[in-house]
Amino acid sequence: MTSKPSVWVSRPTFPDVVARLEPHFHVSAEPEETKFTSAELAAKLAGCDAAIVGLKERVGATELAAAKRLRIVANLAVGYDNLDLAALGAAGIAASNTADVLNESVADYAWALLLGASRRMGAAERWLRAGKWHATEFKGWLGTDVRGRTLGILGMGRIGQAIARRAQGFGMPVLYHNRSRLPEATERECRASYVGKATLLRESDCIMLVLPLTPETRHAIGAAELAQMKSTAVLVNVARGGIVDDAALAAALREGRLAAAGLDVFEGEPRVHPDLLALDNVLLSPHIASATTDTRRAMTSVAVDNVLAFFGHGPHAGHPPN
Ligand code: DGY
């Protein structure tokens, strides 16, 4: 009798979903969130045939060196900048992500950050909790309306498109910039106009970043790009931290060259740049744009389905990056 292959799940997920692997695999799931060192991760990967990992597992040649049985790494995220696809490819190991199932939750959250940052919700809540609310001021806590303003979306994949569709409810014209232009029918459905990056930065009142992090997009928003934006603009990042130069962003916010920002992701997270922490005109959250129960369950399900399918136990559920 041949023994079952084994799957390692790097973090607590949804046990009933992961249990779908059990008829076909030995499953070992981490009971708590752990930040593995490179050597610990290498040892875990060396002991399994499939791994379901999260963004904090950075899988490259070093971590794969002893992974002689490993055949697939299923990422519990749509972004996969934590995976070195070249190293995985060279080792003949497949990779998959969790495309699509998180689009709507992330789009909702991007809007929450835009509205929260525009209406100063973070600072107002901190002020109230600090017991400073003694009288309601007619001209206190004035924010900015988003209605009717121009929304610029940098990165117009499925999440960008879900964000654009929501703009119709706020009566906001949408500009977008993307590696490639969308088909006309999609542009019509999203009521979005394709423009160059410089035009988008110059003309938008609200800018949302929804780009993947690649060597080409690293610091796509740095000092030069911030200088092109309106001083009244609000910037939202639900993509990846490295896309924005956080020090340059903090300087622009501090000096009034940008009105506000809503950030879910940071360079070098979970560390957050101290200059950002010191500012009141930025709304910060710990990389939770996809964190709803339904969406995190769906992401787990896609990763499980991808492993099952890879071993011939069902159709693929996601769009594997390689
Ligand atoms: C993703 O899926 O890439 C998100 O950033 C994780 O929540």
Please report whether residue 157 resides in a domain.
yes
Q: Is the CB of 13 under 6 A from ligand 1?
A: no
Question: Could you tell me the CA-to-CA distances from 238 to 140, 152, 241 in Å, in that order?
Answer: 29, 14, 8
Whether residue 45 is predicted with pLDDT greater than 70 in this model: the reply is yes
Q: Of the candidates 237, 262, 285, 277, which has an alpha carbon nearest to the alpha carbon of residue 143?
A: 262
Q: Which residue has the tokens 């600072």?
A: 123
Catalytic residue among 11, 20, 240, 273: 240
What integer pLDDT is reported at residue 83 of this predicted model?
Answer: 98
Q: Is the CB of 83 under 6 A from ligand 1?
A: no
Mean of the pLDDT values across residues 129-144?
Answer: 95
d(CA 255, CA 232): 12
Question: What is the distance in A from the centroid of ligand 1 to the CA of 143?
Answer: 29
Mean of the pLDDT values across residues 256-263?
Answer: 98
Phi, psi of 258 (to 5 degrees): -145, 140
What integer pLDDT is reported at residue 322 of this predicted model?
Answer: 44
For every residue of 152-171, DSSP letters joined together read EEE--SHHHHHHHHHHGGGT
Q: List the residue whose alpha carbon is closest to atom 1 of ligand 1.
A: 77
Cα angle, residue 255 at apex, residues 249 and 259 outer, rounded to 5°:
70
Q: Is the CB of 76 under 6 A from ligand 1?
A: no
Indicate if 127 and 215 belong to the same structural domain: yes
CA 28 to chain centre: 27
Provide the mean pLDDT of the chain. 96
Number of structural domains in the chain: 2
d(CA 201, CA 223): 12
Please report whether residue 178 resides in a domain.
yes
Please report whether residue 172 resides in a domain.
yes
Indicate if 226 and 89 belong to the same structural domain: no
What does the block give as tokens for 179?
């590696």
Indicate if 168 and 229 belong to the same structural domain: yes
CATH number of the domain at 55, please: 3.40.50.720
Q: Is the CB of 213 under 6 A from ligand 1?
A: no
Catalytic residue among 20, 149, 287, 296: 287
Indicate if 194 and 236 belong to the same structural domain: yes
d(CA 29, CA 307): 14
Q: Which residues sit opposite 176 in a β-bridge?
A: 153, 194
Please report whether residue 317 resides in a domain.
no
Indicate if 113 and 205 belong to the same structural domain: yes
Whether 163 contacts 191, CB under 8 Å: no
Indicate if 141 and 62 belong to the same structural domain: no
Q: Is the CB of 155 under 6 A from ligand 1?
A: no
What does the block give as tokens for 87?
């190293």
Q: What percent of the chain has pLDDT over 70?
A: 97
Whether residue 153 is predicted with pLDDT greater than 50 in this model: the reply is yes
Indicate if 84 and 25 belong to the same structural domain: yes
What integer pLDDT is reported at residue 316 of this predicted model?
Answer: 57
Question: What is the distance in A from the centroid of ligand 1 to the CA of 277?
Answer: 22
Q: List the residue whose alpha carbon is closest to atom 6 of ligand 1.
A: 77
287, 290, 294, 301: residue to mutate for ligand 1 pocket, most atoms within 8 A of CB:
290
Alpha-carbon dihedral 117, 121, 123, 128, rounded to 10 degrees: 180
Indicate if 164 and 200 belong to the same structural domain: yes
Question: What is the distance in A from the centroid of ligand 1 to the CA of 290?
Answer: 6
Please report whether residue 1 resides in a domain.
no
Q: Please give the DSSP secondary-structure letter assigned to residue 148.
A: T
Indicate if 203 and 268 belong to the same structural domain: yes
Q: List the residue whose alpha carbon is closest to atom 7 of ligand 1.
A: 290
Whether residue 131 is predicted with pLDDT greater than 70 in this model: the reply is yes
Question: What is the distance in A from the centroid of ligand 1 to the CA of 110?
Answer: 13
Q: Of the candidates 132, 294, 130, 155, which has an alpha carbon nearest to the alpha carbon of residue 237?
A: 155
ipTM associated with this complex: 0.93
What does the block give as tokens for 169?
């409810």
Please report whether residue 322 resides in a domain.
no
Task: Tell me the CA end-to-end span of the chain in Å, nearest whole number.
Answer: 32
Mean of the pLDDT values across residues 116-144?
Answer: 96
What integer pLDDT is reported at residue 126 of this predicted model?
Answer: 97
Question: What is the distance in A from the centroid of ligand 1 to the CA of 313?
Answer: 26
Q: Is the CB of 318 under 6 A from ligand 1?
A: no
Rounded (10°) angle between helices 158-167 and 103-118: 50
Please report whether residue 263 resides in a domain.
yes
Indicate if 143 and 201 belong to the same structural domain: yes
Q: Is the CB of 79 under 6 A from ligand 1?
A: yes
What integer pLDDT is reported at residue 3 of this predicted model?
Answer: 87
Each residue of 64-119: pLDDT tens digit?
999 999 999 999 999 999 999 999 999 999 999 999 999 999 999 999 999 999 99
Q: Is 131 left (phi over 0), alpha (psi -120 to 50) or beta?
A: left
**How much is the pTM?**
0.95
d(CA 71, CA 7): 10
Question: What is the distance in A from the centroid of ligand 1 to the CA of 297?
Answer: 13
What integer pLDDT is reported at residue 2 of this predicted model?
Answer: 64
Three-class SS of residue 32? coil
CA 236 to chain centre: 12
Q: Of the candidates 247, 241, 290, which has an alpha carbon nearest to the alpha carbon of residue 97?
A: 290
Residue 90 sits in which domain range?
6-101+293-310
Indicate if 135 and 87 belong to the same structural domain: no
Q: Measured from the CA of 98, which atom of ligand 1 is nearest?
A: 2
- Active-site residue flag, 287: yes
Q: Measured from the CA of 55, which atom of ligand 1 is nearest?
A: 6
Indicate if 64 and 196 belong to the same structural domain: no
Please report whether residue 140 resides in a domain.
yes
